[in-house]
Amino acid sequence: MTSQSHNHLHYVTDDRASNSTLKNFITHESFGGVLLFFAVICAMIIANTNFGVVYNEVWSMYLDFSIGGYKLVHISILHFINDVLMSFFFLMVGLEMKREVLYGELAGFKSVSFSVFGAIGGLIIPSIIYIYFNHSTPSAHGFGVAMSTDTAFALGVLLLLGKRIPNVIKIFLVTLAVADDLGAISVIAIFYTEQINWFFIYVSIIFLIILITFNYLDVKYLSLYFAVGILLWLCLFFSGVHATVGAVILAFTIPGKSQISRHSYLGLKVAYNKLYFQTKADFTTFEPLEPRQYEETNRLGAILYGFKDFFKSSYRNIKNFISPKSDAEREIDMHKEHQRVEILDTVVRYSRYAQNPLVRIEFILQPLNAYFIVPLFAFANAGVPIGGTLDFHIDGIFYGVVLGLVLGKPIGIFTFTILSEKLKIAKRPNGLTNIHILSAGFLAGIGFTMSMFVANLAYKSNLAVDLAKISILTASCIAAILGVASLLATTKKVSDESDVREEF
């Protein structure tokens, strides 16, 4: 799940939405799924051309960092991407989980139970299908490959379908994916840890207690969280537990609410009062802006106005340089400027105290993951040569992964949600039909990022890893086609005239 991930997407379906620009399109998080798709295509094309050798050699190169002859870091570029950079992806996933539980669609058991039971079914049934085809084989350990959902890809598909997708389907898919991610991360922590070094586990617990203490004391300095979080990550890395789990644990300790103190609030109030009276006093000295009626309707008029404003300001600066103000006037100007800067600095400082640390970090990480880390991960891992070296008969990997994602996901999600509703332990969201649940189940079978990540952990043989990646790509394509066909057949296009606003 990416990037990119599913936080506060806005689908505006009024007249203005029809004129949305490329910039507005890119700002949607689901665009990360489209970018991910192109990264996969490029990797597959390069890997199956004459550049395939260079492609593999680049990822096999090592990064070394030594101090005094002691080699501290010796890691390949591929492992650096998968283990280090992807930790930022898992950090964002953890932040999104916590935000949804605190404020979003996962807040409260009744709100979350329907999606959670669907996610549980989407984890169990694909695993059973995979194990059926791979029991008593060395590949049985790879059941985690067939149970993960890539939210970025799924949201990218919904983005391409546009206005016709009801808001309830989007919310259900997002909450389902968040719960699915939590299950997948738990599987990584439990089943893909080979050997545990308990000394580093105990040290990591100490760092975890420190982070929890920071949270309890409402510490707002993010640098402290990241400093201790890096130490926690290193301890888990050396302990044998996959280090990305440390990123999720760090995310859970980041404060998810703002607790501005009375002192800070009063300081902010005083600063705003000063800003108000200072602005009111200076209003008579400010030069009024000329009307810019041509700016929005006439691009040439806006450009001409810009040139005019530039020459006017240049003339004024040259005039002040030739005929400078007196020392007393300059002193008064500097004093006023100092007051303005001091007031604004106070507002900024106290406003920072009131900001939500969780949202601040997520706001920074979302574009970093959506437009760089996750596409880079896809480009580095999806380049599988399709030729004589690819063996489709390695145990039952191909059938287990493809059928697990394509059939296991929708069957598990549909069965468990309906069963939870019949048993009256979950309540179906209003407007969500059975065919909507099945369509979301098909899209949940798009299991790229997390599935690829697990494949690198689950298999020892490079041939098995390559086959798993081809199986994931095949299953994701089939699942996307089935999901799109199902949604197109069961939804209606919303007319541009209808005043509808869909919001995540």
Between 103 and 401, residue with greater pLDDT: 401
Of the pLDDT bands very low, low, confident and very high (cuts 50, 70, 90), residue 107 is low
Q: Are 358 and 30 in contact (CB under 8 A)?
A: no
What pLDDT shows up at residue 438?
Answer: 92
Encode pLDDT of 296-344 as tens digits. Answer: 445 566 666 666 766 776 776 676 666 665 555 555 556 666 666 776 6
What pLDDT shows up at residue 305?
Answer: 65
113 and 246 together in one domain:
yes
Residue among 85, 92, 86 at smallest CA distance from 188: 86
Structural domain includes residue 428: yes
What pLDDT shows up at residue 105?
Answer: 55
365 and 383 together in one domain:
yes
30 CB contacts (<8 Å, ≥6 apart)?
Answer: 4, 6, 9, 152, 155, 156, 158, 159
CA–CA separation, 333 and 203 (whole Å): 57
Alpha helices in 192-326 (DSSP H): 198-216, 222-239, 244-253, 262-282, 299-322
Q: What is the pLDDT averaged over residues 101-120?
A: 73
CA–CA separation, 152 and 147 (whole Å): 16
What pLDDT shows up at residue 326?
Answer: 58
Q: Are 73 and 65 in contact (CB under 8 A)?
A: yes
Tokens of 354: 């009131």
> Which of 28-32, 243-247, 425-429 tops mean pLDDT?
425-429
Number of domains in the chain: 2
What pLDDT shows up at residue 320?
Answer: 64
CA–CA separation, 119 and 131 (whole Å): 19
Structural domain includes residue 207: no
| Residues across the chain | 504
CA–CA separation, 500 and 11 (whole Å): 9
254 and 138 together in one domain:
yes
Q: Are 176 and 118 in contact (CB under 8 A)?
A: yes
Residue among 99, 81, 454 at smallest CA distance from 251: 99
| 66: helix, strand or coil | strand
160 CB contacts (<8 Å, ≥6 apart)?
Answer: 34, 484
Whether the predicted pLDDT of 185 surpasses 70: yes
Residue among 92, 182, 40, 18 at smallest CA distance from 480: 40
Structural domain includes residue 291: no
- For the chain, what is the largest distance between any 2 Cα atoms, rounded to a whole number of angstroms? 92
What pLDDT shows up at residue 125?
Answer: 94
> Which of 8-12, 70-74, 251-255, 348-352 tops mean pLDDT?
251-255
Domain boundary among 354, 382, 412: 354
**From 226-235, 346-355, 495-504, the region with the lowest mean pLDDT:** 495-504
| Region class of 160: left (phi > 0), else alpha (psi between -120 and 50), else beta | alpha
Of the pLDDT bands very low, low, confident and very high (cuts 50, 70, 90), residue 499 is very low
Q: Which residue has the tokens 């389907």?
A: 169
Of the pLDDT bands very low, low, confident and very high (cuts 50, 70, 90), residue 497 is very low
Structural domain includes residue 200: no
Whether the predicted pLDDT of 295 surpasses 50: no
Q: What is the pLDDT averaged over residues 375-384?
A: 84
Of the pLDDT bands very low, low, confident and very high (cuts 50, 70, 90), residue 415 is very high
Strand partners, 71: 66
Provide φ and ψ at 151, rounded to 5°. Answer: -65, -35
Q: Which residue has the tokens 């329907």?
A: 114
Residue 101 vs residues 7, 96, 104, 152: alpha-carbon distances, Å: 13, 9, 6, 20
Whether the predicted pLDDT of 414 surpasses 50: yes
What pLDDT shows up at residue 20?
Answer: 39
Q: Which residue has the tokens 């106070």?
A: 346
Q: Are 503 and 167 in contact (CB under 8 A)?
A: yes
Q: What is the pLDDT averaged over residues 433-459?
A: 86
72 and 136 together in one domain:
yes
263 and 346 together in one domain:
yes
Structural domain includes residue 402: yes
Kindly calculate the radius of gyration of the chain based on its CA atoms and give it in whole angstroms: 27
414 and 345 together in one domain:
no
Helix or strand (DSSP H, E) at 65: strand 62-67
Q: What is the pLDDT averaged over residues 248-271?
A: 73
Q: Are 254 and 98 in contact (CB under 8 A)?
A: yes
Please state at what angle helix 244-253 crosses helix 167-191, rounded to 10 degrees. Answer: 120
CATH number of the domain within which 413 lies? 1.20.1530.10
pTM tops 0.75: no
Whether the predicted pLDDT of 26 surpasses 60: no
What pLDDT shows up at residue 273?
Answer: 74
Whether the predicted pLDDT of 386 surpasses 90: no
CA–CA separation, 496 and 70 (whole Å): 65
Q: What percentage of the chain reaches a pLDDT higher than 90?
A: 11
What pLDDT shows up at residue 401?
Answer: 92
348 and 381 together in one domain:
no
What pLDDT shows up at residue 442?
Answer: 92
Domain boundary among 354, 384, 416: 354
Q: What is the pLDDT averaged over residues 458-471?
A: 86
What pLDDT shows up at residue 81?
Answer: 86
Whether the predicted pLDDT of 9 surpasses 50: no
92 and 107 together in one domain:
yes
Between 484 and 64, residue with greater pLDDT: 484
What pLDDT shows up at residue 12?
Answer: 37
Strands 70-76 and 62-67: antiparallel
Q: Are 243 and 87 in contact (CB under 8 A)?
A: yes
Of the pLDDT bands very low, low, confident and very high (cuts 50, 70, 90), residue 351 is low
**Cα angle value 273/277/279 (rounded, 5°):** 115
CA–CA separation, 37 and 252 (whole Å): 30
Q: Are 247 and 83 in contact (CB under 8 A)?
A: no
Between 266 and 61, residue with greater pLDDT: 61
Give the type of residue at 39: A
Q: What is the pLDDT averaged over residues 432-441?
A: 89
Structural domain includes residue 321: no
Residue among 448, 370, 453, 469 at smallest CA distance from 2: 370
CA–CA separation, 5 and 36 (whole Å): 12
Strand partners, 73: 65
Q: Which domain holds residue 370?
A: 15-193+242-258+355-490
Structural domain includes residue 1: no
CA–CA separation, 320 and 65 (whole Å): 55
345 and 407 together in one domain:
no
What pLDDT shows up at residue 413?
Answer: 93
**From 49-58, 110-119, 155-164, the region with the lowest mean pLDDT:** 155-164
Residue 270 vs residues 265, 277, 342, 345, 361: alpha-carbon distances, Å: 9, 11, 12, 13, 28
204 CB contacts (<8 Å, ≥6 apart)?
Answer: 232, 235, 236, 239, 246
What pLDDT shows up at residue 322?
Answer: 66
133 and 58 together in one domain:
yes
Tokens of 54: 């260079």
45 and 122 together in one domain:
yes
Residue 445 vs residues 226, 450, 476: alpha-carbon distances, Å: 34, 12, 6
What pLDDT shows up at residue 237?
Answer: 80
42 and 113 together in one domain:
yes
Tokens of 427: 């309540």
What pLDDT shows up at residue 210?
Answer: 94
Task: Write down the mean pLDDT value for the chain.
Answer: 76
Structural domain includes residue 64: yes
